[in-house]
Structure 1
Amino acid sequence: MPTLDQVLSGSQSERRPPYVVAEMACAHDGSVERALAITRTSSQADALQIQLFHAEELVVPKEVPTVRGFELAPESWKRVVQKARAADLDLWATVFDEEAVELALELEADVLKIHSTDLSNPFLLQSCAQTNLPLSLSVGGSTVSEIASAVRSLEDHGASNLVLTHGFQDLPTAPKDARLGFISTLDHLFPYPVGYQDHTDGGSDLAHTLPLAAIGLGAHVIEKHVTDDRSREGTDYISALGPEGFAQFVEKVNAVNGVFSGKRPDDFSEAEEEYRQSMKRRVVAGAEIPAGTTITEQRITLLRANDGIKANRLDVVLGRKSQRSLQPGEAITEDHLK
C-alpha cells in the first residue's frame, strides 16, 4: 500500500499504487461508539477521513440544532484517532472553520481537507495553508477559474503539497453526473496529484467500478464513504460501503494496481518482455547457408524464435556473409555474420 509521501511526491505521469481514504463523514450520527465501529470498518484503507465542524459556523440558525447533532466532542475524536492509529491509518480531517483547524492540529492530522463549500473562503484557505500540512482541495461543483483562484491563494500562503479531489455528493450521485473525464483535465491544468471522491449508490456495482475507472484516468487518491451498517440507513449511508463491501472494494483497488501502467513508451512489464522475446519473428536460415555465403532473401525466412535478429532489423543481415555454416531453421545472430 502506498505512503502519503508517495502520493504527494513524484511526477504526475508516474503510476503509483492508489491511495484509499475511508470517508466517515457524518455516518456516526453523533455517536462515538458508532464512529469507533466505522473506524474498524476502515482498517484496510490507507487513511481515515473525519469531518470537524461547529454547527453555528457552518449553517444558518434554523439548521443549527439538526447539524449540531452530528458533532462529536474533542475527547470523543481523540478516542477515534487512537483507534485509527492502532490500525496504522493516516488521519485526514475535513475542516469547516478555524476552530476545527486547531482541533485537527491537536489530533495530529496528517492532511487537512478543504470541502468544496470552502473553496472560495479566503479565511479558511489561509488558515489551512499556514499549517504547512498537506491539503486536499475538494473541487466538486467548481469552475476551473474558481479552482485556479483557490490554488493560487493556497500557494500564496505557503501551501505546496496539494491534492485536487474531483467529485460531488448527490443522494446518490448519478453515474452520468460523475464527469470522470474532468480528472484528466485537472491533471493537465495543475501540477498536483488528482483524487476522486465517489458518491455513487453504495448498493450498486458502479460503487466499485467507477472508482476503478477514475484510477485509469489518473486519480492517485480514491475517497470512499464507509459506514458500520448500510441496512441501518443512517446519515450518509446512501453512498457508503459497509464492512464487507469496503473490504471487497479495497481488494479490487489493490488488484488493479499496475493495470493502468504503460504511459511511458516501451515501459514493458516482465511478462510482456517475455512475450516479446518469444513471439516476435526473427531472421532464420531457410536453407543451409555454407560458411562465407552472402545472405539473400532467398536463403532466409522469418519465424518465431527465442533468439536471433528480429525481423525489423532484416537490413543488417541481408548482403552480409556467414561466419560459419548455418542449418535450416537456425536463428541468425550477430555472431553468425561477418
Structure 2
Amino acid sequence: MTVTIGRSTIGGGAPAYLIAEIGLNHNGDVDIAKQLIDVAADAGAQAVKFQKRTPEISTPEHMKAVPRSTPWGEMTYLEYRYRVEFDRDQYIEIGDHATMRGLDWFASPWDGPSVDFLDSLNVVAYKIASASVTDLSLLAAVAATGKPVILSTGMSTIEQIDRAVETLGTERLVILHATSTYPLPAEEANLRMIATLGDRYPGIPIGYSGHEPGLQISLAAVALGAAAVERHITLDRTMWGSDHAASLEPQGLSHLVRDIRIIETALGDGVKKIFPGELAPLSKLRRVGA
C-alpha cells in the first residue's frame, strides 16, 4: 500500500519521504520560520512540519502556571505557549512560502480547534505527535478530515498504538517509529521496531522520527526500510528553546538528505548480477571460467 501526500508517494519502494520538522524552533518568529523553510528546500526535503496548539486547551493543567524563563522575560508556561503560536495570517504567509519553495507543509494539531484551524488552511496532511497517541477524540477529529495522517509512536505501548491505528483507520496512514527522548541516545533508538511495526500493520508505510544528535541512526533506519524520515531542524543548536539541541543544523540536514539518497541507490534490487564495472576486473583476474 502507498500513501500520497502532496506530490509524493510514500511506501511501495518509493524514495523515503523526508520531513524537516520546524516545530517550535521558529521561536514565534515568521522570518526564522521562512529561513528554516529555505533550509529544508535547499537540502532537498519534501516537507516541513509545524505544531499548532490552542494553548488554553492543549497545555496540561499542572503546567499552566509553571514559571518559564524566556528571551521575552519571565512568564508562565501558558503565556509562553501563546507567545510562540502563529495566527492565521502568519500561517498563510509561511505556508505560501513553503509552497513556493516546492515543499508540502502541515502541522501536528494538539487539540480539536487546531484540527479545524489547519483544515481551513487546506493542509495536505496531518501529523499526530507522540504525545497525542492516546487522545482518541483528537485522532477521531483528524480522521474525519479524510486527509492523510502521519502517526508518531514515541512514549507509547503497542496497545496504545493499536487503538490509535483503529481510530485513524489504515487507508491513508503512515506510521513512524519514534522514541521521545531528547536528545536520543543510541541505546534507546530500538530501530528493529521498524520491522516490528511493519509486521504488525502490514501494508502501512513505516518510517522513522528521530531526535538523535547525529545522522547515523536515521541513515540506518533508511537501510532498514523506513519509508519516511522526520528530523527536527534549526538554524543553530545553541538557540534558546527546548528542541534546538536535538535538531539538525542546515549542513547536517543537507548531509542527511544526500546520504539517504546514496543509501537508497546502493540498496539495489537484491538480484545478483554481474555489473558493467566488474567486467574489466573479471577479464583480468578470473583464471577459471564457469
Normalising by structure 1, what TM-score? 0.73
- 1:105 aligns with 119
Alignment of 1:223 with 2:233, yes or no, is no
Q: Deviations over 1:253-302 (max 9, x none)?
A: 12212323445xxx247x6477499859xxxxxxxxxxxxxxxxxxxxx9
Q: 2:49 aligns to what?
A: 49
Structure 1 or 2, whichever has the larger Rg, is: 1
Matched, 1:31 2:38: no
The alignment status of 1:151 with 2:165, answered yes or no, reads yes
Q: How far apart, CA to CA, are the structure 2 residues paired with 1:260 and 1:190?
A: 23
Alpha-carbon distance between aligned partners in 1 of 2:107 and 2:38, rounded to the nearest angstrom: 17
Separation in structure 1 between the aligned mates of residue 164 and residue 190 of structure 2, nearest angstrom: 21
Corresponding residue of 2:70:
none
Instruction: Give the counterpart of 1:182 among 165, 175, 193.
Output: 193
Structure 2 match to 1:73: 87
Partner of 2:128: 114
Moved over 4 A (4+): 273-280
| Structure 2 runs not aligned, ≥5 long | 66-76
More contact order relative to length (CA 8 Å, sep ≥ 6) = 2
- Work out whether residues 196 and 219 of structure 1, in 8 Å CA contact, stay in contact via their aligned partners in 2: yes
Give SS of 2:264's match. coil
* Counterpart residue number, 2:210: 198
TM-score by length of 2: 0.84
Structure 1 262/169 Cα, relative in aligned 2: closer, same or farther at 3 Å? same
Q: Which amino acid counterpart does residue 256 of structure 1 have in structure 2?
A: I
Match of 2:171 in 1: 160
Letter paired with 1:20:
L
Provide the rounded CA distance (Å) in 2 between the counterparts of 1:184 and 1:273.
33
* Counterpart residue type for residue 261 of structure 2: N
* Cα deviations by residue, 1:213-240 (Å, 9 ceiling, x for unpaired): 0011121100011112224344411111
Partner of 2:260: 253
Residue type matched to 2:21 in 1? E
Q: Is the 8 A contact 1:17 1:258 kept in 2?
A: no
> Number of matched residues?
267
Does the 8 Å CA contact 1:7/1:193 hold for their aligned counterparts?
no
How far residue 148 of structure 1 moved from its aligned partner, in angstroms, is 1.1
- Partner AA of 1:179 in structure 2: N
- In structure 2, the CA distance between the partners of 1:231 and 1:181, relative to structure 1 (3 Å rule), is same
CA distance in 1 between counterparts of 2:105 and 2:259 reads: 22
How far, CA to CA, are the matches of 2:127 and 2:114 in structure 1?
11
Aligned equivalents of 1:103, 1:257: Cα separation in 2: 37
Q: Matched residues in 1 for 2:277 and 2:258: separation?
A: 27
* C-alpha distance in 1 between matches for 2:280 and 2:206: 36
- Cα distance change of structure 1 residues 6 and 40 upon mapping to structure 2, 3 Å threshold: closer
Structure 1 unaligned blocks of 5 or more: 202-206, 281-301, 305-310, 312-338
Q: Is contact 1:21-1:223 (8 Å) kept? A: yes
Instruction: Confirm or deny that 1:134 pairs with 2:148.
Output: yes
Alignment of 1:324-335 (within 5 A): none
Instruction: Give the Cα separation in 2 of the matches to 1:79 and 1:219.
Output: 32
In the alignment, is the contact (CA less than 8 A) between 1:38 and 1:228 conserved in 2?
yes
Amino-acid identity (%):
27
CA gap 1:193/1:9 in 2 versus in 1, 3 angstroms: closer
RMSD in angstroms over aligned alpha carbons? 2.4
